[in-house]
Structure 1
Amino acid sequence: MAINTPTPTPASAATEAPPLPLTTPAPTQSYVRMGYVFAAVGALLFSTKAVIIKLAYAETIDAETLLALRMAFALPFYIGIGGLSIRDRKRSGQALPPARQVAGAAAVGLLGYWFASYTDFLGLEYISAQFERLILFTYPLFVVIFGAMFFRQPIRLRAVAAIGISYAGLAVIFSEKVSTFGHDATLGAGLVLAAAISFALYQLLAKDLIATIGPRLFTCIAMSGAAVGAFAQFLFTHAPADLIVTPTLYAYALLIAIGATVLPSFFLNAALHRISAQANATIGTLSPVMTILLAVLILGEKLTLIDVAGTALVLAGVGWFTLADQAARRRAGA
């Protein structure tokens, strides 16, 4: 479902994990609260991706080339920020993560930011930005299901209820949009659904690695692994000269790389360091709402009363879950 060595963003610089002590203190309420903020900001930034990709496709480019350009622009940022993270760890006396954890982070990055991104990009060749975002954000449901099946995580009733409310809203919107797509809708929907499943597994697999490596360094390793996958795929299917495109396409690729990849990837992983994968996934349902609004304003797609009703349900589910999750954490810490 994500660049020179700039000054690290607050989300990346402030959340580097310290060495884990024998007894880890309980996180403060303000620390957890910032997790909800990071999750929301990350979701909103990610929501711009589909719209920018559709604009790029209008200029004639395929998914493999656009994904390679995205990672080419993003990778220098991750290398630079990763280098700063390693420097800071050495200065503070922290040990660098072992090779096994580095390989694990790179593999998780391949799943969550290469395979999921590629199937998402490819699906957008066949369906609209609104339709893509609605399908992609079935991933919170998969987070809850896979968490219970493979990670021994309890299924919280409030998470199920909140996701149910949110997805009732998405279903209302979907029911109106599905009839407008042609024969390619099934293929596009299947590709984006594969992206949603992959991103759900990424969230579950990444959480422990983020806790031990730290969100900033983990993000750099994971995204570097994804970049290697994107470059290898491009070179296997294209000639290197195909990376020479128009200035407009370079601009779109840069926007995807920074605004819809680098910044939200740090916000997302900082959120995963503070709140549960279920909480992060549920808050992420804000993203399709924002995508719908951007698609209307930028791509000229229509917004109906049914769209508005569905959006209201999504916001109600997200808001209720956030308040309930925070209240439960306060009670547990009391």
Structure 2
Amino acid sequence: MDRVGLALVLVSAAGFGTLGVLGELAAAAGLSIPTVLAFRFLLATLVVWLVLGARGDLRPLRGRALAAGIALGAVGYAAMSGLFFWGLTFMTAGLVGIVLYTYPVFVVGAAAVRLGEPVTRRTVASLGGALAGVALVTGADPAGADPRGVAVVLAAAVVYAAYITASRMTLATVDPQVLTAHVLPAAAVSFFVFGTATGRLSTPATGYEWGIVAAIAVVATAVPIFAFFAGLRRIGASEASIVSTVEPVVTLLLGAAVLGEPITAATVVGVRSSSAGSCWSRPVRSRDSRLYALAQPFPGSRAGGPLRPASDRAKRPRRVGPAFWFKRS
């Protein structure tokens, strides 16, 4: 078990889990969805660029890697975010949560087909436990679901699954933090264009509004994206998606603490089930996981530094050791 990878994805899920509460605060302040998402990604971009620039790691992607980064942000991440918030106009947050968190099912299937990651009994059991916990935590009532909302949020789940899988494939040759620096501005441009075209884009007018947007950009975006990409390289797409299902648990607890939302016995059981599902998640052994090996830092390289060209990697003999493989149990 790669505890570092697991912890990174948990940090990511916790950060993203703050988005719901912060989003409610933004809505209460009168900020539109395009405004929140456009400035969310813009400010997060500035944070990421400043951090990478200070470390000397800010560098542009080129060719296919650049195209992949733009597509992941402008199409994948932006589409998932837009569909998620659109779904909220048809259904309650609880119903949207339970429908969205069907995405691990799509990730497991996509990872098995595209990345060669085996589907084990442990993976299926952890997935079932995590999703059962999410169902109890959200307290959703499927009988009250709007078919249009279900369709929209299912589309968001499919897009998110594709985004996760495509990110893993791109990380075979691209440093995750550099990729993040390209995904975020691409998503920002998408929402600035959309907001301008629809006439719904505005600028936060008060310090309180800017504070909410800044919190969304840093706590709910920049930090969790960094953590997710880093954890993804260590534990794989299927396991990362399952561990990420603790996100609504964080939202539940924050909702109770900040907004006074009630926690029922069913939600307590849901928290335990979701946490158990995350703990059961384990990376799977594979003697031929080339994508996983290529995603690891090279011996002697600085963490977050550039990866060597594919031609250089091909010349190096296959190696088994801490730099390429992490102990799994």
State the shift of 1:128 in Å: 4.1
CA offsets per residue over residues 104-149 of structure 1, 9 Å max, x none? Answer: 1211122332111122233334544444333322221110122234
Task: Sort the Cα spacing of 1:156 and 1:244 in 2 relative to 1 into closer, same or farther, 3 A.
Answer: same
State the alpha-carbon separation in 2 of the partners of residues 210 and 197 from structure 1.
Answer: 20
Give the match for residue 21 of structure 1: none
* 1:115 is the counterpart of 2:79: yes
Task: Sort the Cα spacing of 1:147 and 1:135 in 2 relative to 1 into closer, same or farther, 3 A.
Answer: same
Task: Sort the Cα spacing of 1:236 and 1:311 in 2 relative to 1 into closer, same or farther, 3 A.
Answer: same
SS of residue paired to 2:173: helix
CA contact (8 A) 2:246 2:278 kept: yes
Give the match for residue 269 of structure 1: 229
State the alpha-carbon separation in 1 of the partners of residues 64 and 46 from structure 2.
Answer: 24
Q: Percent identity?
A: 30
Give the match for residue 44 of structure 2: 74
CA contact (8 A) 1:82 1:221 kept: no
State the alpha-carbon separation in 2 of the partners of residues 151 and 233 from structure 1.
Answer: 33
* 1:200 is the counterpart of 2:170: no
CA contact (8 A) 1:57 1:125 kept: no
State the shift of 1:211 in Å: 2.7
CA contact (8 A) 1:111 1:198 kept: no
* 1:214 is the counterpart of 2:189: no
Give the match for residue 178 of structure 1: 141
RMSD of equivalent CA atoms: 2.9
State the shift of 1:187 in Å: 4.1
* 1:141 is the counterpart of 2:105: yes
State the shift of 1:150 in Å: 4.5
State the shift of 1:84 in Å: 5.0
Give the match for residue 28 of structure 2: 58
State the alpha-carbon separation in 2 of the partners of residues 284 and 188 from structure 1.
Answer: 22
State the alpha-carbon separation in 2 of the partners of residues 178 and 207 from structure 1.
Answer: 34
State the shift of 1:66 in Å: 1.5
* Structure 2 spans left out of the alignment, 5+ residues: 288-324
CA offsets per residue over residues 256-296 of structure 1, 9 Å max, x none? Answer: 11100000000000011211111111111111111111122
CA contact (8 A) 1:51 1:129 kept: no
State the alpha-carbon separation in 2 of the partners of residues 82 and 220 from structure 1.
Answer: 8
SS of residue paired to 1:177: coil
Q: From 246, 261, 279, give the equivalent of 2:239.
A: 279
What is the letter of the counterpart of residue 146 of structure 1? A
Task: Sort the Cα spacing of 1:88 and 1:149 in 2 relative to 1 into closer, same or farther, 3 A.
Answer: closer
Correspondences of 1:129-168 after superposition (within 5 Å):
129-168=93-132
Task: Sort the Cα spacing of 1:268 and 1:333 in 2 relative to 1 into closer, same or farther, 3 A.
Answer: closer
State the shift of 1:216 in Å: 1.0
Q: Tell me how many residue pairs correspond in the alignment.
A: 292
CA offsets per residue over residues 228-262 of structure 1, 9 Å max, x none? Answer: 2122112211276x224343322211111110000
* Structure 1 spans left out of the alignment, 5+ residues: 1-28, 91-95
More helix by share: 1
Q: From 220, 226, 229, give the equivalent of 1:260.
A: 220
CA contact (8 A) 1:133 1:291 kept: no
Task: Sort the Cα spacing of 1:102 and 1:82 in 2 relative to 1 into closer, same or farther, 3 A.
Answer: farther
State the shift of 1:79 in Å: 3.1
State the alpha-carbon separation in 2 of the partners of residues 138 and 162 from structure 1.
Answer: 13
